[in-house]
């Protein structure tokens, strides 16, 4: 239980740090044109927060909770690192395109994590339901199998 609290704090810290870093890096000039880019940069964090909220609310399996938490940490911290790399380390003419595509990639990875989690939970619940159904049914001596 103690490790779950640590993972929750790490996930929340990564999301907050990612939001702050992404918004600061995208809104460096704070002009009116840049504010649209800030909303674009914050879109993946809204998706990740929704995934984590759904995982907590719907009592999803522990393994899927861990998958979504660690994937959210990696995705949330990877975005600002890619922004720093594209805008300051490897300065290039395509840095603006990279800065726009980072949010798309983060959002796509968040959707992939959600789909994997849904399919994994479906498989777990199907296996549990199937075994409970099979355990409740007894074979009749009159039935034959072909």
Give the span between the Cα atoms of 79 and 85, in whole angstroms: 10
The answer to whether residue 138 scores a pLDDT higher than 80 is no
Residue 29 lies in a domain: no
Contact yes or no for 64/121 (Cβ under 8 A): yes
Region 33-58: mean pLDDT is: 83
The tally of domains found in the chain comes to 1
Q: Is the pTM of this model over 0.85?
A: no
Residue 72 lies in a domain: yes
Residue 74 lies in a domain: yes
The predicted-structure confidence for 86-121, as pLDDT tens digits, reads as follows 878 888 888 878 878 988 999 999 999 999 999 999
Residue 8 lies in a domain: no
DSSP 53-93: HHHHHTT--HHHHHHHHHHHHHHHHHHHHHHHIIIIIS--T
Burial of 129 (0-12, 13-18, 19+ CB in 10 A): exposed
Residue 11 lies in a domain: no
* Residue numbers of the domain that contains 95: 38-130
Residue 143 lies in a domain: no
Residue 139 lies in a domain: no
């Amino acid at each position: 239980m103690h490790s779950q609290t640590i993972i929750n704090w790490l996930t929340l810290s990564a999301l907050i740090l990612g939001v702050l870093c992404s918004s600061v890096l995208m809104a460096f000039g704070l002009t009116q044109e840049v504010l649209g880019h800030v909303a674009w940069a914050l879109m993946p964090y809204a998706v990740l927060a929704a995934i984590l909220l759904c995982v907590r609310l719907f009592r999803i399996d522990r393994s899927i909770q861990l998958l979504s938490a660690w994937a959210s940490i990696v995705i949330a911290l990877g975005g600002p690192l890619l922004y720093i790399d594209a805008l300051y380390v490897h300065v290039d003419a395509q840095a603006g395109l990279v800065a726009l595509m980072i949010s798309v990639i983060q959002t796509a990875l968040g959707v992939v994590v959600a789909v994997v989690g849904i399919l994994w939970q479906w498989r777990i619940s199907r296996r549990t339901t199937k075994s409970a159904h099979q355990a409740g049914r007894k074979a009749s001596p009159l039935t034959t199998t072909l």
